[in-house]
Chain A
Amino acid sequence: MFSKSSGRADLEAGLFFTGFGVLTAVLSLQYPLGTIAMMGPGMFPFMLGTILAILGLVMLLSGLSGMGEESRSLPLVPIILISLSILAFAVLLVRVGLAAAIVAQVFIALWASEHFSWRRAVALSLGLLAFCYVVFVYFLGISVPLLAV
């Protein structure tokens, strides 16, 4: 379940937060910093980014020293499939319509679980389509294109 090397979580978190902090600080330099009394739009994010980068470095050190926490192992396939199913929904919703978006999302997402079967996917798609139509389109009056062609 867990990766073997100890302190991996802190090491990775340290890298991430240092990177994000530095990026924020650098990007905020493109806006006027102003003075302490009259702060420009760049000042506050610059401060936050700097503090974050320092905290990131502290984490990095604790990770390197092996004192940090162990990381959890990421289930790669579900991450890819679940994100893909969300993207597919967005793309299909405006181009083809709600029906296609729901069917695609259910099939791709269900594929990520160990319980995939065609019958289950079809049943869930139809049920959700009916549910979304009744709740969102009929009751709440949200203008979702059922078929966008």
Chain B
Amino acid sequence: MASRPESPYDFERVLRRHALELPPLDIGTLQLNITKRCNQACRHCHVDASPARTEMLSDRAIEACLEVLARHAHIHTVDITGGAPELHPQFRMLVERATALGKHVIVRHNLTVQIDGDPATHTAMDDFPAFFAAQRVEVVSSLPYYQAFFTDTQRGSGVFAKSIEALRRLNAVGYGQDGSGLILNLVYNPVGPYLPAAQASLEADYKRSLFENFGIRFNRLYTITNMPINRFRLHLEKSGQYATYMDKLLAAFNPAAAAAVMCRNLISVDHDGHLYDCDFNQQLGMKILTPSGQAASIFDFDYPQLLARRIRFAEHCLGCTAGAGSSCGGATV
């Protein structure tokens, strides 16, 4: 039988070439992707989220997540994402109970859902800044650039103006303000197949421009590399840029960024309760497998077994290891 030709972007081979092994270090963060529904349908979205998606984390799975969090004190952070997680009917209950467990709760909030409301039910969602402040959650919000052109190109017409309004509302309840303790971090990601600018210099640009033009304050800017999967990969392939982008990621491989990949410190949970090494693997269906070959799930969460697992890598992992690195918390080196 003819063997399959080796991919030039084989991540495991890149690791071997650099004599790198990347075993899990701990599980400090449980990242919950609670719905793929979103009021937006961004061109780069690795989740392929949109108003038409229906996936929701079940009540039973939410209870299992909370039970795992209660049982494991060293899982200190709950990172709630989607889709737009606010569109999950149990979102507020989940946040309140995770907070009550003493966990640091991060909500990946797309800003515009405050203004748009629920695309299906048209329920208003303008009270989220007050809710977030009351729960003292950390808010992490995408804003691909500090000007409208790049932002609207990627996230849809009018998104920049709505995002600015939503940021003003978050500032008004204390988010991003000195001394409030309410953390508002923004996320930059490139509008095309290129690497992010240096995080510190771009953060300074964002802070200056957003304050001078709109009076907006925030805490940190996270630069995140676009992952060559799903909707963004389709765009790359259609425009004939996939190989060029992958070559760029491969050429920019940074061993220090590889050592700092986020999958070594977190577990991602999908709407069915299955477990993954990260949200990108989740979107590709690359489930964590138990030693017996079964898909690992939140219903039989086994911390020691998960810590002993072998992380599943693939071509897209080059996105997290290029240049200054990329993670849900921005650059890693």
Q: Do A and B come from one complex?
A: no
Which B positions have Cβ atoms within 8 angstroms of A?
none
| Interface set of A (CB-CB < 8 Å, partner B) | none
